[in-house]
Amino acid sequence: MESNNLILDKYKSRGIRGLIVLGITYFFLMGNYSMIRYFFQVGQEDLDISIINKCFSMGSVDKFLLFLFLVWSVGFLFQDKENELKETLAVGKENTKKYFFSKVILIYGVSLIPMVINIFIKLIFYIPYRNSFSLDKLIISFLYFITLGLLFTSIIFIMNLIVKDRMFAGIFPIFFMEGLILIFSVSELLISDKLIWVRNFLNFIGEKVLLIFNLLNLDLDQNFFSLWRQFIFIIILVLISVLLIYISSLILKIMNLKYLDRPYFFEIPRYFIYIFMSVLIGFVFVHAIGYLIIMFIPSVSYVKGTFMVNIASLISMVLLFVFLEILYRRKILNKDLIEDNIEVCNEIQPCIGDYIEFDETTGFLDNNNTIDKEENFNNSL
């Protein structure tokens, strides 16, 4: 079966193109270009350790660009996934396992092999300058690069098994992370004193969430994070990635063939996405518009206006979720009704239009042509 050929056939050219694009991308994002240029510009005696450390770490912008390129790569290798999944699920569980492992080998191979190659490039330039910076930093940076690529690929991979649109499957995790950071960062300023329990709860959750996201900006500066803590955090990220891969295999096993034509392959993740979108839009935009309106109403105090905006934001979240749910259900329901009403025309079950004809001028049944068609049909039997 075509979808189960590991990297051969149609995926061979896609895999090679993905390797080339990601290889060039990693060369710049992992600091190899900056490192090589710096080594050739200065001598071994004049090396600045702070500049070298930057070449062995990855900034926030570099991580963001890395994620976007992996979104393209995984989406590129998931092209025609609806048809592939339909073919795979129609055959049976054994074929589903083959399809899953072939996709894992292809996608993770394309994502991580260029990273390993760029790590070897770093290693080549490390050997003559090994006295200038420590080996432990080198090992931690290598592990962190691979772990980051593994984690990002796992997130995008599992989202492509949940959402039909490949671009949305990759972009939503970015909106989710940035949305949570935005909500928890400004909640203390925007929540009224009358809802102090809500503000305290959001602050408590926000501290934990922001800590996790801040750890993704792991630095190689020992004054900020000890190498032992960095290593523990890398192990945690690897375990999360492995868990996501395992969940992806379970998702593929329980996937329903009927839902593959819908924008979301599962209902529970769809509810989660709709709830998050409703909360994000209702919280951010309603508060922004509400505070803008309050500024032009002198009779409304800040405390009272903040409480009113909080209530309006909560109501807008609920209304927005209901609106998205109704819109989705009407769209899917109409599509299902159209598919159910499609006539199945074949030799065993001919369509009625093949043997009944109406007069174009009067609109009534044309008996002569209808009788001729009926006789032809009877003769064919």
| Torsion over CA: 141, 147, 150, 155 (sign) | negative
Q: What is the pLDDT of residue 3?
A: 44
Q: Which is nearest to 292 in space by CA: 274, 305, 280?
A: 305
Q: Give pTM, 2 decimals.
A: 0.79
Q: Please state, in angstroms and as integers, the Cα–Cα distance from residue 221 to each residue in 53, 56, 305, 316, 381, following that order.
A: 8, 11, 45, 44, 84
Q: Residue 289, Cα to own-chain centre: how many angstroms?
A: 30
- Distance (Å, whole) CA 141 – CA 126: 13
Q: What is the pLDDT of residue 253?
A: 87
Instruction: State the distance between the two ends of the chain, measured CA to CA, in whole angstroms.
Output: 37
Output the six-digit token pair for 5. 């050929």
Q: Which residues pair with 365 in a beta bridge?
A: 358
- Distance (Å, whole) CA 140 – CA 146: 10
- Distance (Å, whole) CA 196 – CA 219: 36
Q: What is the pLDDT of residue 239?
A: 93
Residues whose CB is less than 8 angstroms from the CB of residue 87 and which lie 6 or more positions away in sequence, other chains included: 1, 2, 3
What is the greatest pairwise CA distance in the chain? Answer: 102
Q: What is the pLDDT of residue 238?
A: 92
Q: What is the pLDDT along the chain (381 residues), one digit of tens a residue?
A: 444 444 456 677 888 888 999 999 999 988 888 888 877 777 656 666 667 777 777 878 888 899 999 999 998 888 888 888 888 887 777 788 888 888 899 999 999 999 999 988 888 877 776 666 677 777 888 888 899 999 999 999 999 999 988 889 989 998 888 888 888 878 777 887 788 888 888 888 878 777 777 666 655 444 456 777 778 888 988 999 999 999 999 998 888 888 888 888 888 899 999 999 999 888 888 888 888 888 888 777 777 888 888 898 899 999 999 999 988 888 776 665 445 444 444 443 444 444 444 454 544 445 555 445 445 544 544
Secondary structure in 3-state letters for the chain? CHHHCCCCCHHHHHHHHHHHHHHHHHHHHCCHHHHHHHHHHCCHHHCCHHHHHHHCCCCHHHHHHHHHHHHHHHHHHCCCHHHHHHHHHHHCHHHHHHHHHHHHHHHHHHHHHHHHHHHHHHHHHHHHHCCCCCHHHHHHHHHHHHHHHHHHHHHHHHHHCCECCHHHHHHHHHHHHHHHHHHHHHHHHHCCHHHHHHHHHHHHHHHHHHHHHHHCCCCCCCCCCCHHHHHHHHHHHHHHHHHHHHHHHHHHHHCCHHHHHCCECCHHHHHHHHHHHHHHHHHHHHHHHHHHHHHCCCCCCHHHHHHHHHHHHHHHHHHHHHHHHHHHHHHHHHHHHHHHCCCCCCCCCCCHHHCCCECCCCCCECHHHHHHHHHHHHHHC
- Distance (Å, whole) CA 206 – CA 212: 10
Q: What is the pLDDT of residue 367?
A: 52
Q: Do 192 and 102 contact (CB within 8 A), yes or no?
A: no
Backbone φ, ψ for residue 365 (5° rounding): -65, 130
- Distance (Å, whole) CA 29 – CA 310: 42
The dihedral region occupied by 139, where left means phi > 0, alpha psi between -120 and 50, and beta the remainder, is alpha
Q: What is the pLDDT of residue 177?
A: 85
